Structure 1
Amino acid sequence: MNVPVGFLAKLWSLASFLPFFVLLLLLGSAKALLIGPVAAAIVFLGDSAVIVGLWPAHFVWTYCCVLATKRIGPVLKILAVVFLPLPLLLLPVLGIVGSLLVGIGYGVFTPLMATFEAVGEGVADKLSHCFLDGTASTIRGACMVVRDVTDFCFHSYFSFMDELSEKMGDDEAPIDIKLSYLPRSFLVALVAVPLDVLMITGVALWKSPCMLLKGWQRLCEDLVGREGPFLETVCVPFAGLAIILWPLAVVAGVIASFLSSFFFGLHAGLVAYQEASFQMGLSYMISAVALYDEYTNDLLYLREGSCLPRPKYRKAGSAKYETGRDKDEHNVTAASAEKQHQGQRKHRRVLHRSKTFMETIQRLRPIQIWDWLFRSCEINGRILLSEGLISSEDIEEFITKGKGKKLSIKLPAWCILHCLIRSAKHDTHGLLISDDVEVTNFNWPKDKVFDWMLGPLLVLKEQMKKLELTEDEELCLQKLIMTNANEKPSDWEDCGFPSSDGVKRAQLQAIIRRLQGIVANMSRIPSFRRRFMSLARALYLEAIDAGTIDGSRKVECKVKADIASEELQSRDVGDTKGSSNGTSVDVDMV
């Protein structure tokens, strides 16, 4: 869209757009009033039923795992047993309230956004889409939300607890706390909480008029010039609503500052414990106010830094409590960022920025990286099925019982490892997920979960580069990662691995174990299980039709019924296998 230049052009653009915008807003609001209560009821009742129904099992199993685990020391275990009832009793209450808020938000805003999205670029028959989009798809999406919550409560939670109960490695030590450090920590927290609450709340109140005026000024300028949030048609209703409700946003910011100040004060007690110093805890108490002031200055585009004192609250050598792995990840990420910034490999096409509001949301949900992973699992799954490294029993176990690490953990781990090998061979700065798409820290999705994965993957890529694998080693590695335990060096004895270098074998085993740990964490994300289950069903039917495996007739009928049901649910919500609203990334993993 071309932004109008000049006052008269901007005024005419605004005047001609307002009637069109008002009609779409009224239509979207009408659909929200009709569809919203139904979707909200589905999310609220479904999620609440799952959370409350599984709460007794969660309560009992949490205590069992905490008492049985050896990863927690005796002192910390006693404190956990004493204080666990409070969060566990609050869990169903918070779950019910959260389900209500999520249901209302989803039921109201999804039909409204779909109405404005229907008049976007590239949409044929805009009139019918304006009336139909966001109706049935919202109901199906609400059902999908309930399913994801069910997966998280029924599978992800118990997976976390099982990991807590696992046997520790020989080089691991239990986590515990020192009782002698607790008095000074409690005393620092007792002093820091009221002081930080008073000071941070005072800074927030002092800067709230500036936030109010600057926000109104920026939003009004964007409204007149059709820039910023007003450039996209679908964003206009929410940007316009932001002008009206901006005072409430300022009040919410002050309240959020007040609530966060309690955590600043409590963190001062944690610093006193970590540094074993009463003075360092008090220093953080003072520095926290300066840190907050500096953050708000950056947020409001005021002067850099802060005029408030900021004493050092870490001793030398413990500034960030970085482990060697954390430092390596930081150095690798920083080096790749610097090289990328210098403009090397400009011929590669990076992931495109989305052009519509819905695609922007999907980008923030890292849907493109998600699509690449599942597409890669689909391609490599076919190969492994044809080579006999995945059997019908493996797929049937995952489909019927929801378990099976060989399929849900080892297959994605091999796909990521293959990506690391390709990236190392091409000497890329990031991760080469296809022949012309390179993911770096510049275009990596801005999502905390995925941010935690980028650093380790870049470190592993550099390690793979130093290992310099041959083609025979890569082929053997594919078999080993799918069939062997890879827990200790003896697991690779008589495996046919071409290299006899014991150090190289140990490094590869460590890389595989770390990748499997990353995938295990990814598998606990609710949408992962739903999409991987769809992938497993599709692979199962395809392998039966091709004669690659002999499947069970009962399981085959169940899979066909489930696929037919999923196709009805995902037809309009853009969650089909291998792509999502045109944002999928083509993969060439073979």
Structure 2
Amino acid sequence: MEPPRGFLASLWNFICFLPFFIGLLILGFIKGIILCPLTFLIITIGNFAIIVVLLPAHFFWTYYCILRAKQLGPVLKLLLCICISVPLSFWPMVGIIGSLIGGAAYGFLVPLFATFKAVGEGKTDKMYHCIYDGTWDTVKGSFIVVQDFMDVCFNSYFSIMDDVRHQGPPEGKYYEIRLLYLPGAIIAGALGFMVDMPVITLVAAYKTPYMLLKGWHRLFHDCIGREGPFLETICVPFAGLAILLWPLAVVGALLGSMVASVFLGAYAAVIVYQESSLWMGLCYIVATLSIYDEYSNDILDMPEWSCFPRPRYRKKAALSETSSRATSFSRPDSFRNPPSRTVSLKNPMIELKPFELMNSIFEECPCYGEIMVSEGLITVKDIEDAKSNKDSGRVVSIGLPAYCLLQTLLRSAKANSAGIMLSDNVTEITSTNRPKDTFFDWFLHPLLIIKDQIKAENLSEAEEGYLSKLVLLRGDPERLKISNIGSPPDSERKQAELDALARRLLGITKSISRYPTFKRRWEDCIKSISEDLAKKNHGSDSFNVTPPIPRSKSAFARIVNQKSFKSTRSSHRSDQGSQPVIERDVEIV
């Protein structure tokens, strides 16, 4: 859709669009007002109950894990026990206030945005979807929010604290704190908070009107000229809503600056401790003001200048750090040469959602799980233990997702992909279309490094099979000893490298498993595997796992497309009825 040419055409287009947008906005507001109280009560009451019930356990287990941590020294343990009491005391209040605000925002905004999405291009019966979308889905979503919050407070929290308790000290030396520099660090942290918070707040408040007017100017200019976000019909409602909500975004930016200033100022304590100098901490407090000022100028496209001095606060500032800092806080290329605002979205660069990689893993897990059962590598006991969250179920709960992730990396390495190739062999996560999410970067970059290492290893089929089974069974050392995972590489060095790859991949998978939505979706995946096995065994209550069958060494690497796997399986089911499991698996592979 080309933007209208000329002022009169642009004005007429804007006049025709305005009633349409106002009607959708009113409908979304009505749905939000009706559903907001219900979802507010569900989320608030559910989260409040979880916080209150688990609060004693959180208090006890936090102190217990800190005191039993092997990598912390006695003085550091004592200091942490004193300091940790502050966030633990504020946790109920923060959690309840966050639930109140989050529940109200979720109940009001989700129906509002769903109303605008209902008129997107390619949707049929838009009137029905405008009314229905965002109603029952919002109610179900509120229960999912409570469930995910429960998973974070129970599973993710205790998993992280168990790692703190069991993890050994690096290089045999535990972490300890130097008491000599502790008073200076406390003084610098307090001064940083007292200086940086009010000054940064004043700087942010000074630039807030400029941010408000400049944002409105850009949005109204785009709206009248049908440029930028208003170019395509699918984006018009959201861009129009952005005009109304822009003041809230500006207020949010101001509040975000105020909150960030607390941590920026308090970080002076870390500088003093690291540099063993109170003077360096005072220099950091002043330099932080300049850093924030220059960074906000870049964000708002203002002249590059700051009235605050910027002294050095590191004794040994490497040249690379200096150049990196200069690059970070000088005007980026995106500000010097902004992208064209009239580019059509007909052929857009697809920006993937943060859950695309996780979706691919969950799609492949049932397929690989059935194969593992037929191989005898996964037993009924593993599945039952995984359902019960027992440590012995790690082969399924951690090993199987890590195995699927490894197959994705192997597939990407063989295809010479610049990123990560997903299960459909078409979608690819690269540095350009990756989700713009800092949390996602924590996992993407290590996975890309592992993929490059796998590609550099140039693994044979036997080595791929060995690494795959090593990843699957490494969580259960006893099973790893008695299972036939193939011959290890002849070179001890390569064997150590494969072992390190497996260890890192399992660590990344364990970190991903702590993500709020992982446990809920993993339970659905385990249920799917169990149901498929029950159907294959004629609906029996217990799984009569078939004995292992001979396969080629690359059998694990061949099942890479879940859609083709399902279609093949369904065709065999329709043609052969209740044919035994072994025959179907042989034909599929």
The verdict on a shared fold, with TM-score over 0.5 as the criterion, is: yes
**2:433 counterpart of 1:436:** no
Distance 1:482 1:99 in 2: 38
SS of the residue corresponding to residue 2 of structure 1 reads coil
1:79 is displaced (CA, Å) by 1.0
Name the counterpart of 1:278.
278
SS of the residue corresponding to residue 469 of structure 1 reads coil
Name the counterpart of 1:477.
467
1:395 is displaced (CA, Å) by 1.2
Distance 1:524 1:512 in 2: 19
Name the counterpart of 1:425.
414
1:389 is displaced (CA, Å) by 1.2
In the alignment, which of 526, 532, 535 is matched to residue 542 of structure 1? 532
**2:492 counterpart of 1:502:** yes
Distance 1:373 1:304 in 2: 45
SS of the residue corresponding to residue 428 of structure 2 reads strand
Change (3 A) 1:45 1:229: farther
Change (3 A) 1:162 1:507: same
Matched letter for residue 404 of structure 2: C
Name the counterpart of 2:4.
4
Name the counterpart of 1:86.
86
Distance 1:526 1:213 in 2: 38
Distance 1:548 1:166 in 2: 44
1:170 is displaced (CA, Å) by 6.7
**2:103 counterpart of 1:106:** no
Name the counterpart of 1:353.
350
For residues 257-336 of structure 1, what are the structure 2 equivalents within 5 Å?
257-304=257-304, 306=306, 308-316=308-316
Aligned pairs, number? 520
Using the TM superposition, name which of 158-167 and 98-107 deviates more. 158-167
Matched letter for residue 363 of structure 2: R
**2:21 counterpart of 1:21:** yes
1:547 is displaced (CA, Å) by 2.8
Distance 2:443 2:121 in 1: 34
Change (3 A) 1:194 1:527: same
Change (3 A) 1:133 1:426: closer
For residues 175-214 of structure 1, what are the structure 2 equivalents within 5 Å?
175-214=175-214
Distance 1:243 1:495 in 2: 60
1:244 is displaced (CA, Å) by 4.7
Name the counterpart of 1:457.
447
- RMSD across aligned positions (CA): 3.0
Change (3 A) 1:521 1:470: same
Larger RCO (CA within 8 A; separation ≥ 6): 1
1:316 is displaced (CA, Å) by 2.5
Name the counterpart of 1:445.
435
Name the counterpart of 2:378.
390
SS of the residue corresponding to residue 52 of structure 2 reads helix
Change (3 A) 1:171 1:486: farther
Name the counterpart of 1:96.
96
Counterpart contact for 2:47–2:96, Cα < 8 Å? yes
Matched letter for residue 426 of structure 1: A
Name the counterpart of 1:342.
none
Change (3 A) 1:509 1:206: same
Distance 2:482 2:500 in 1: 13
Counterpart contact for 2:471–2:503, Cα < 8 Å? no
1:182 is displaced (CA, Å) by 1.2
Change (3 A) 1:243 1:472: closer
Matched letter for residue 391 of structure 1: T
Counterpart contact for 2:192–2:265, Cα < 8 Å? yes
Extract unaligned runs of 5+ from structure 2: 325-346, 544-561, 564-587
Residues 175-211 of structure 1 deviation map (CA, whole Å, 9 limit, x = unaligned): 2221112122223234333332343233223323322
Name the counterpart of 1:371.
359
Change (3 A) 1:392 1:511: same
Using the TM superposition, name which of 1-10 and 98-107 deviates more. 1-10
Name the counterpart of 1:31.
31
Identical aligned residues as a percent? 44
1:5 is displaced (CA, Å) by 2.2
Counterpart contact for 2:470–2:502, Cα < 8 Å? no
Residues 436-460 of structure 1 deviation map (CA, whole Å, 9 limit, x = unaligned): 3332221121122210112211221
Distance 1:89 1:431 in 2: 43
Distance 2:139 2:411 in 1: 42
Residues 288-347 of structure 1 deviation map (CA, whole Å, 9 limit, x = unaligned): 1111111111111112354543222223366899xxxxx9xxxxxxxxxxxxxxxxxxxx
Distance 2:416 2:234 in 1: 41
Name the counterpart of 1:53.
53
Matched letter for residue 418 of structure 1: Q
Matched letter for residue 447 of structure 1: D
Using the TM superposition, name which of 192-201 and 542-551 deviates more. 542-551
Matched letter for residue 219 of structure 1: L
Q: TM-score, normalised by structure 2?
A: 0.81
Residues 247-275 of structure 1 deviation map (CA, whole Å, 9 limit, x = unaligned): 55444433433333232221122111111
Using the TM superposition, name which of 155-164 and 171-180 deviates more. 171-180
1:124 is displaced (CA, Å) by 1.2
Q: TM-score, normalised by structure 1?
A: 0.81
In the alignment, which of 401, 404, 407 is matched to residue 396 of structure 2? 407
Using the TM superposition, name which of 160-169 and 535-544 deviates more. 160-169
Name the counterpart of 1:359.
none
Change (3 A) 1:12 1:372: same
Change (3 A) 1:243 1:204: same
1:411 is displaced (CA, Å) by 0.9
Distance 1:506 1:60 in 2: 39
SS of the residue corresponding to residue 171 of structure 1 reads helix
Counterpart contact for 1:381–1:411, Cα < 8 Å? yes
Distance 1:17 1:430 in 2: 41
Residues 371-406 of structure 1 deviation map (CA, whole Å, 9 limit, x = unaligned): 112112232222212212111211122224466211
Distance 2:477 2:456 in 1: 22
Counterpart contact for 2:465–2:486, Cα < 8 Å? no
**2:532 counterpart of 1:532:** no
Name the counterpart of 2:456.
466
Matched letter for residue 51 of structure 1: I
Residues 144-170 of structure 1 deviation map (CA, whole Å, 9 limit, x = unaligned): 111111111121111111111114167
Change (3 A) 1:152 1:202: closer
Matched letter for residue 383 of structure 1: I
